[in-house]
Amino acid sequence: MNKLKFLLILMAVNWTVNFGYAQVGINTTNPLSTLDINGNLSVKVITLTGGSSASPTPISDGVYLSLDPRNGTTDNYILPLPSSVPGRVYILRNITDFDTAQLSISGGTQRFFPKNSSSGTFTIAMPPNSDNKSLILISDGFNWTYFN
């Protein structure tokens, strides 16, 4: 009986160790990363209309987000705290030609940092005809870093 217990424990440990270092390959027999995709990747696309500064539209789902501000001036969108979604990536695009989308962060003192900068801001404007019309945002667990 003791030998059976020992054998089961040894098998469980071996399975756990091997499972912990698993690599998954899609369309490849030799994955070189935790997830290795040899082919195209599709991500969830969502279109969001904005809200007022008092009631901004939350961004919490999807990867590619088409922001559709419609009120004639500036519509507001709010991202989750970066500490609640470390490593999350969003691709945002203001799809209008007339209205500005403005981003802020839900609560706290976290900031948006442009790439290669140590100066952050609490909001980002995404005017319809500017370099900020399309942004990629990445949470480092403390703040959001963005690239245009």
Going by pLDDT thresholds of 50, 70 and 90, the confidence category of residue 19 is low
Q: What is the pLDDT of residue 12?
A: 62
Q: Tokens in use for 148?
A: 């245009």
**The residue to which tokens 């901004």 are assigned:** 56
In angstroms, the CA 127 to CA 107 distance is 23
Mean pLDDT of the region 102-110: 87
Sheet holding 112-114, edge to edge: 45-49, 64-68, 89-94, 134-139, 144-147, 112-114
The answer to whether 43 and 64 are in contact (CB under 8 A) is: yes
Q: What is the pLDDT of residue 113?
A: 92
Going by pLDDT thresholds of 50, 70 and 90, the confidence category of residue 70 is confident
Residues 110-143 have pLDDT tens digits of 899 999 888 888 999 999 988 899 999 999 999 9
As a whole-number percent, the residues of the chain with pLDDT over 90 amount to: 51
Domains of the chain: which residue ranges? Answer: 2-37, 45-147
**Architecture of the domain delimited by 45-147:** Sandwich (2.60)
Q: What is the pLDDT of residue 35?
A: 86
Q: What is the pLDDT of residue 47?
A: 93
